[in-house]
Amino acid sequence: MTTALNRRAPEPQGFNLDDQWWAGNVRLVNLSGQLLGAHIAHAGLIAFWAGSITVLEVARYVPDVPFYEQGIGLLPHLAALGFGLGPDGAVVDTYPYFIIGILHLVTSAILGAGGLFHTFKGPAILAEGTALAPKFHYDWGDTKQLSIILGHHLLLLGVACLAFVCKAMFWGGVYDTALGTVHTVSPNLNPADIFGYVFGFNHGQFTGLGMSSVNNLEDIIGGHVYIGILELIGGTWHILSKPFAIGAKPFSFAGEAILSYSLGAVGWMGLLSGFFVRYCDVAYPPQFYGPERSGAAAVQYILGFLLLVGHVWHASRARAGGEPVPYAPPAPVKGRFGVTRVAPAPAKNTRVVGRGRQQPEPPKKKGWFG
């Protein structure tokens, strides 16, 4: 794979992607501060959706009628975690669902404020900010900084994963579809049993369903123990190290290339989750999700496929880029009110990006789709 860059592929003559209303965050690819703002705002929108829909479903919930017959989609997830259930698995209290929804709405307000700050008030490029902002700036060609960012994401995922384990083991337990009750779980930590699912073996018996063939909570919680620990180890490793040359050489670290890797991973998870939705009653109890879940599984398959198409598209565009250009801040110039940053005049064959950032035009290369 060719080394591509922190730029997008050349567009057809007379076409400027930045001028298109649907271009989205691609116009912020070289503005680390504003891209951070968009990232935080996006998280706020997700939290707002989760909180508002949860509160709406609580308001329209009809007792003694199964969730799946009411078209309710989020409350089953909370019920499967053991919230609001009685001894027989029946929903006896919706107040915990309401509180969880409100907490998501409060979180969305905080994230939304952060997104607006980084979009309108903070520096467009973090390296031009004050205090700790430059510490979090990154260039797409800076593999060390990108590795640090990856490491922090892995740490957060590991903490969330182990929090789920603690909920199942110590904080009230989770719902067990086989027993119809909520109870604490002692995880199965036998590595042969847990990692056997990766290769299609369910306790020594081969099955084409792979991991989605799991049929007990002990294995599910044990798998999350291993995943959480591995993510914490991986996160620490990526924070303290940088990619080895032999391992990084085949990959591009361009912004669009990294986006393609993320889309590929999420797309694969979408396809895999479709099998869990369809066949795994332990992860998706029929009491909450219904005995027939092929429709919900089909949605997962479709979304996973679309994400994989996006992976191919953005990978092709990344291949058409040039070599990475490191960030060079403008020289400070004495202004009327003190030292300010003023961008020098653009040099020939350069393109000004963001707040005076200049990039030489990279060599043109042809992608998979032109």
Name which residue leads in pLDDT, 315 or 248. 315
Kindly provide the residue ranges of all beta strands, DSSP E only, lying in the chain, ordered along the sequence: 174-176, 181-183, 201-202, 205-206, 332-335, 338-341, 350-353, 357-360
CA end-to-end distance (rounded Å), the chain: 16
pLDDT above 50 for 344:
no
Amino acid of residue 178: A
* Cα–Cα distance, 162 to 172 (Å, whole number): 15
User: Mean of the pLDDT values across residues 205-223?
Assistant: 94
Kindly report, residue by residue over 174-185, the tens digit of the pLDDT.
Answer: 999 999 999 999
Q: What is the pLDDT of residue 319?
A: 80
Boundaries of every domain in the chain: 32-124, 142-252
What is the per-residue DSSP string for 71-113?
Answer: T--SHHHHHHTTTTB-TTS-B---HHHHHHHHHHHHHHHHHHH
By mean pLDDT, which of 168-172, 187-191, 249-253, 310-314 is the weakest? 249-253
Q: What values do phi and psi take at 358, rounded to 5? A: -110, 145
Q: List all residues 6 or more positions away from 334 whose beta carbon is below 8 Å from its beta carbon.
A: none
Tell me the pairing of strands 205-206 and 201-202. Answer: antiparallel
Of the pLDDT bands very low, low, confident and very high (cuts 50, 70, 90), residue 49 is very high
**Biggest distance spanned by C-alpha atoms of the chain:** 77
Tell me the average pLDDT across 193-211. 92
210: left (phi over 0), alpha (psi -120 to 50) or beta: left
- Residue 329: the pLDDT is 52
pLDDT band at 18 (very low <50, low <70, confident <90, very high): low
**pLDDT confidence of residue 357:** 46
Phi first, then psi: give them for residue 351, nearest 5 degrees.
-125, 130
Q: What's the rounded Cα separation, in Å, for the pair 319 and 368?
A: 8
Average pLDDT over residues 74-101: 93
Residue count of the chain: 370
Higher pLDDT, 322 or 352: 322
Q: What is the pLDDT of residue 142?
A: 83
Per-residue b/e over 24-63, b at no fewer than 16 CB within 10 Å? ebbbbbbbbbbbbbbbbbebbeebbebbebbbebbeeeee
Check residue 320 and give its pLDDT. 78
pLDDT at residue 205 in the model = 92
Give the torsion sign (CA, 103, 109, 110, 115): positive
Indicate if the pLDDT at residue 6 is higher than 80.
no
List phi, psi (to 5°) of 204: 90, -15
Angle, to 10 degrees, between the axis of helix 294-319 and the axis of helix 255-279?
160
Residue-level pLDDT at 19: 62
Predicted local distance difference test score (pLDDT) of residue 170: 95
Per-residue pLDDT averaged across 109-130, rounded?
Answer: 89
Q: Who's near 133: CB < 8 A, 6+ residues apart? A: 33, 122, 123, 126, 127
Higher pLDDT, residue 342 or 366: 366
Highest mean pLDDT: which of 137-146, 177-186, 338-347?
177-186
Beta carbons of 213 and 202 less than 8 angstroms apart: yes
For the segment 75-79, the average pLDDT, to the nearest whole number, is 96
Q: How far is CA 263 from the centre of its chain?
A: 9
Question: Is pLDDT of 240 > 80?
Answer: yes
> What integer is the mean pLDDT of 264-279?
94
Question: Residue 164: what are its φ and ψ, rounded to 5°?
Answer: -65, -40
Residue whose C-alpha is closest to residue 331's, from 342, 320, 321, 322: 342
pLDDT tens digits along 288-299: 999 999 999 999
